[in-house]
């Protein structure tokens, strides 16, 4: 990721669904429209990875998430998707899936959903999953906001937001994933006491996130930003790059509750 956010995109150019060559989705009832500014596609995929997207994705993907597939925004049947799961966790923007796959392997009794709109990342994750089993891991190859809409209220026990696109320019701040609107979506879908875990190597993003969380009564920051990762932390691809380039990661935990919104 470069200075302007998703580094795979040219300077300052927003690649919306339409610009990326995707059919523009119909606005769902209520008229909510969301632009996605990251990039959906990178280098041409090798045949093997393309085949994984065509075959292996079908058994991992969660049906009924996007507004075209579920215009009424019916809530997902989480119990049917994750039979017997002890809890439900979500990773937003899993990149190549390194943390996602390691987390699924370390917590086989937890249902885990990974969201990632960048198809090359989804293909990389499917390649890492080949031969691994891990039936409790499901993917949404798209924008996490559409998934958050259709998760039942108070269904998530933990949410990972690891190295969100930084969007450092002031005029792009409203593209950051940590925003009042997205914290509303998270607050609705998270259980009381559920944990939000944020990692970033961008000090201004951490300040922005802390300020946004402190303005609300429905999240409580636990401790403060720390330079120590969480126990069992497997790292991420983006983090490894940040460390190689001399940037320092910071980690933050916030709990859902006790209040009911700002
Ligand atoms: C800087 S990368 C970090 C990837 C990975 N978490 C890591 O640490 O290696 C941020 C990722 O967030 C994804 N992303 C951006 N907006 C998103 C959204 N609304 N929903 C889901 N993922 C999103 C991007 O496609 C990108 O892959």
Q: Which entry of 143, 165, 201, 218 is annotated as an active-site residue?
A: 165
pLDDT at 258: 75
Report d(CA 22, CA 85) in Å as an integer.
34
Q: Considering the entire predicted model, what is its pTM?
A: 0.90
Helices (H), the chain: 47-54, 56-60, 78-81, 98-106, 119-129, 144-150, 180-189, 203-214, 237-244
14 pLDDT higher than 60: no
Name the pLDDT band for 96 (thresholds 50, 70, 90). very high
Alpha carbons within 13 angstroms on the beta-carbon side of residue 3 total 4
165 is catalytic: yes
- Enumerate residues 6+ apart whose C-beta is below 8 A from 192: 154, 256, 257, 258
Measure 165 CA to ligand 1 centroid, in angstroms.
6
pLDDT at 36: 85
Name residues contacting ligand 1 (CB within 6 A). 1, 6, 38, 92-95, 115-118, 121, 143-145, 162-165, 177, 236-239
- Enumerate residues 6+ apart whose C-beta is below 8 A from 193: 255, 256, 257
Name the pLDDT band for 260 (thresholds 50, 70, 90). confident
């Amino acid at each position: 990721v470069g200075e302007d956010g998703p580094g795979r995109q040219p300077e300052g150019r927003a690649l919306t669904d339409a610009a990326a060559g995707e059919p523009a989705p119909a606005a769902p009832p209520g008229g909510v429209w969301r632009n996605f500014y990251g990039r959906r596609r990178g280098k041409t995929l090798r045949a093997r990875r393309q085949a994984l997207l065509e075959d292996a994705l079908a058994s991992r993907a969660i049906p009924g998430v996007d507004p075209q597939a579920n215009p009424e925004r019916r809530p997902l049947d989480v119990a049917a998707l994750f039979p017997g799961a002890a809890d439900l966790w979500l990773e937003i923007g899993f990149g190549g899936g390194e943390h996602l796959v390691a987390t699924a392997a370390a917590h086989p009794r937890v249902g885990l959903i990974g969201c990632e709109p960048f198809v090359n990342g989804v293909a990389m994750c499917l390649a890492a999953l080949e031969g691994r089993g891990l039936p409790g891991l499901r993917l949404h190859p798209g924008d996490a906001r559409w998934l958050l809409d259709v998760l039942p209220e108070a269904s998530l026990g933990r949410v990972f937001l690891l190295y969100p696109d930084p969007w450092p320019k002031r005029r792009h701040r409203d593209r950051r994933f940590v925003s009042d609107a997205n914290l509303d979506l998270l607050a609705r879908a998270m259980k009381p006491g559920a944990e939000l875990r944020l990692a970033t190597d961008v000090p201004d993003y951490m300040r922005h996130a802390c300020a946004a969380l402190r303005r609300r009564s429905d999240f409580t920051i636990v401790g403060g930003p720390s330079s120590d990762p969480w126990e069992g932390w497997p790292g991420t691809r983006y983090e490894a790059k940040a460390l190689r380039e001399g940037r320092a990661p910071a980690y933050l935990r916030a709990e859902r509750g006790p209040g009911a919104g700002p």
